[in-house]
Structure 1
Amino acid sequence: MTAAKANPARRPNGARAIADLVGKAMTPACKKRGFASVDIIASWADIVGERYGTRVQPDRLIWPRQPELTDPDRPPQPATLVVHTDGATALLLSHDSAQVIERINTFYGWAAIGRIKILQRPVLVKQPEPSKSLRALTRSEEQRLEERLEGVENDRLRQALKKLGAQVIARGAGEPA
């Protein structure tokens, strides 16, 4: 059996996907902070939404001590999520904490978080990269695109397809089929 068949993450030339290496390297650091995996940190912006995705940073989970459970099917007590944010965002987050907790618990699939503890500390706000402007289409490219869209009767659909086709052509991903 070859190395590629034995380990699907390994590629035939012996290279490994960077995501596999980073995830394994970060997992011990996350476990020290109470996170079972890097999933919540990696998906933070998607979980909490645009408002808090860049302005609030998860720090750690504090799990309560679990007494000897008589019922092993009973889930553990929910944890406290400690986050960092600035003063203004802390005020907003304190009002929206129930909704944020619900989103996080939906991500986990069970009531993992019971409350959020907010620490007011500066958070490095990551600025999104500006999108590159696309080149203008040549007259012949525009004509070919219009010819391909002649059979589309719905105006909104035609405009959407025209916009998509122009972006595909401008990025050099090929001509419309």
Structure 2
Amino acid sequence: MAKDELPEPKRRNKTLSVADALSGALDPVLKKRGFAGRDIITHWRQIAPKPFDETTLPDKLAWPRGERSAEGATLYLRCAPGQALFAQHEAPAIAAAVNRYFGYLLVNDVRLSAEPFSSGSGRRVQEPRQPSQSEIAKVGKATEQVEDDDLREALQALGLALSRRSSRNGK
């Protein structure tokens, strides 16, 4: 083989999930944020007590300087707007839940991060939209031949829901 030629890459001959394929790329970023692995981030909904599983996200772990032990880190959380005071008040319960999940004293303190809570990470709130008169008339005309009242009402509700969906997608 000449000096200029690169060796042919090994083929894995198996399928990989996106998470497995990207795990090597994410590890340096996570280590920079103080995380040894992805567990606390990927399993946050199972780790955090309610309602913090939906209103907070782990941002980083800060380890005490000069100590060799792997215990007693400070967990910084990103918090949804309006939830910061509640999360700070319940910090001991959040730390206890993390320690219970891992089975040892990983988190000694929980503090709030100055970073904003990402808007796409929480539960999305659907805005109720009233159907237009033309949509109601169109669905009513399509279901007027149905004799069973309960079935007609169910089909009308389905038709209006589908018309909302198509108008939201710009169709």
Q: TM-score, normalised by structure 1?
A: 0.55
* Misfit runs of 4+, over 2 Å: 13-19, 22-25, 119-122, 125-130
Give secondary structure in 1 for the equivalent of 2:21. helix
Q: Which residue of 2 aligns with 1:96?
A: 90
Find out whether 1:65 has 2:72 as its counterpart.
Answer: no
Q: Which residue of 1 aligns with 2:24?
A: 24
Distance 1:24 1:92, change over 3 A: same
Residue type of the alignment partner of 1:56:
T
Find out whether 1:81 has 2:54 as its counterpart.
Answer: no
State the Cα distance separating 1:120 from its structure 2 match.
Answer: 5.1
Q: Which residue of 1 aligns with 2:122?
A: 126
Q: Which residue of 2 aligns with 1:45?
A: 45
Give secondary structure in 1 for the equivalent of 2:113. strand
- 1:108 and 1:65 map into 2 onto residues whose CA distance is 22
Choose 1 or 2 for highest CA Rg. Answer: 2
How many pairs does the alignment contain? 113
Confirm or deny: 8 A CA contact 1:104 1:113 kept in the other structure.
Answer: yes
- Unaligned stretches of 5+ residues in structure 2: 1-11, 127-171
CA deviations 1:68-125 (Å, max 9, x no partner) are x7xxxxx444011111214531111122111110110112221011101113553124
Residue type of the alignment partner of 1:99:
A
Distance 1:126 1:62, change over 3 A: same
State the Cα distance separating 1:57 from its structure 2 match.
Answer: 1.7
Distance 1:128 1:88, change over 3 A: closer
Tell me how large the CA RMSD over aligned residues is: 2.5
Residue type of the alignment partner of 1:81:
L
CA deviations 1:119-177 (Å, max 9, x no partner) are 355312433699xxxxxxxxxxxxxxxxxxxxxxxxxxxxxxxxxxxxxxxxxxxxxxx
Q: Which residue of 2 aligns with 1:7?
A: none
Residue type of the alignment partner of 1:59:
D
